[in-house]
Structures are given as C-alpha cells and as structure tokens.
Amino acid sequence: GMIVTIEPGIYREGKHGVRIENMVLVVEDEKTEFGQYMRFEPITLCPVSLKGINPDMLTEQEKKWLNTYHKNVFDTLSPYLDDEERAWLKENTRSI
C-alpha cells in the first residue's frame, strides 16, 4: 500500500537534463518459497513523449513496457475525454 516514485533521469553537466517521474503503488504479487514478492502499479497516467524516443535504441522488452503503459493510459483516460482530446491521446499513446 505504499506509494513511491520512480525517477530515472540523465543530466549533462553544463548542458541539459531530463527526468521522467512516475508515481507507483506497491502491491503484493506472487508468493514463492523465497517469500512474498511485490510489484508496482502505475498511478501516474501521463503519456511518455514519443518525440524524444528513438525506438531503434530500445530493446523489445522496453518497447513492450512502453506500449503496455500507453495502452493503460489510453484505456483508463479516454472515456473521460471529448473527441478532440481522445484523438490527441490516441496519437500520443500509439505503439512504437
């Protein structure tokens, strides 16, 4: 039931920096002989800008994660949006 942030980032000294910050909920996952495992459920539902991503630099696992995250963002938020907003969200959560 804890909420934590995941904040990967990179900073180039004297140049620029970027950080992506997501809030996640820690929930129970599977229990094994080694004990109870936990996993993260994202509670920040904001698209990751595709403009700054070169898909050729991502592994298949990273692409799958991003596409799954974006599908969740779209599926969760789109029912609350009007047609114009939904079209924007669809474009900005498209699969890579």
Q: What pTM was estimated for this model as a whole?
A: 0.77
Backbone torsions φ then ψ of 43, nearest 5 degrees = -115, -10
For residue 93, count other CB atoms closer than 10 A to its CB: 22
Exposure string for 36-45, b = 16+ CB within 10 A, e = fewer: eeeeeeeeee
Contacts of 74 (CB under 8 A, 6+ apart): 89, 90, 93
Enter the tokens of residue 73. 């963002």
pLDDT score at 59: 96
pLDDT band at residue 21, thresholds of 50, 70 and 90?
confident
Average pLDDT over residues 78-90: 98
For residue 65, give the 3-state DSSP assignment. Answer: helix
**Interval 27-78: pLDDT, tens:** 999 999 999 999 999 999 999 999 989 999 999 999 999 999 999 999 999 9
Give the per-residue pLDDT at 92.
97
